[in-house]
Amino acid sequence: DGGITQSPKYLFRKEGQNVTLSCEQNLNHDAMYWYRQDPGQGLRLIYYSQIVNDFQKGDIAEGYSVSREKKESFPLTVTSAQKNPTAFYLCASTFRGGQNNEQFFGPGTRLTVL
Amino acid sequence: AQSVTQPDIHITVSEGASLELRCNYSYGATPYLFWYVQSPGQGLQLLLKYFSGDTLVQGIKGFEAEFKRSQSSFNLRKPSVHWSDAAEYFCAVGARAGKSTFGDGTTLTVKP
């Protein structure tokens, strides 16, 4: 079955550590996105990529980094520079990265900083 | 810049009652509009979308939405709510590069 997988489902991090969240898709989608979700707030865009080896900052990119070395993969690193990283992180993809493209979402990773 | 407003943070309805979730958008051109549903601790699933044409669109799980350009609204409706519809609902407007701007969501509670 085609879809998006995110791992791990739960992640705990000590302050000062970098952590990497995995996102893989087998939908053959060109564009991929990372969102952060906090209680009572909508989804806020962290980074997005429309093509391999290229990505752009979203609205809240500070303290995060990404790479897009393969079409199927778009890992997100939460660095120690992110002051409040505890949140639910969602990865999504779209077929062509067009305005009319619906987004397909993974199941999410819940990150907790101890 | 585009924006989406969902005026109702939380709605409670009785099972079997009708439902309407409100969504207002701000966008300079013809909007591409979406409704997604999220169960607790899960990702989002598309319920329906509007691009053009018929202003009343049908989606999955018995949901429908009506686009009203004059009111900049795209409200989600369901004639009879089931307990399994309890979830959080997000309205979104599509933007360039496939990005979407999401509202803050409406949490639906269904009373037995």
Mean pLDDT calculated for residue range A67-89: 95
Q: What is the pLDDT of residue B44?
A: 95
Q: Which of B34, B51, B90 sits opposite A42 (nearest CB)?
A: B90
> For residue A100, what pLDDT band results from cuts at 50, 70 and 90?
confident
For residue A10, the distance in angstroms to the closest alpha carbon of chain B comes to 10
Q: What is the pLDDT of residue A1?
A: 67
Low-confidence residues of chain B: pLDDT under 50: none
Q: What is the 3-state secondary structure (H, E, C) of chain A?
A: CCCEEEECCEEEECCCCCEEEEEEECCCCCEEEEEEECCCCCEEEEEEEEECCEEEECCCCCCEEECCCECCECCEEECCCCCCCCEEEEEEEECCCCCCCCCEECCCEEEEEC
Q: Per CB distance under 8 Å, which residues of A are interface residues toward B? A: 4, 6, 31, 33, 40-43, 45, 48, 50, 56, 58, 88, 90, 92, 94, 96-108, 110
A101/B94 Cβ within 8 A: yes
Q: Which residues of A touch B102 (CB under 8 A)?
A: 42-43
pLDDT for A106 beyond 90: yes
Q: Which of B32, B45, B46 sits opposite A99 (nearest CB)?
A: B32
pLDDT for A104 beyond 80: yes
> For residue A39, what pLDDT band results from cuts at 50, 70 and 90?
confident
For residue B63, the distance in angstroms to the closest alpha carbon of chain A comes to 17
- What does residue A80 show for φ and ψ, rounded to 5 degrees? -65, -15
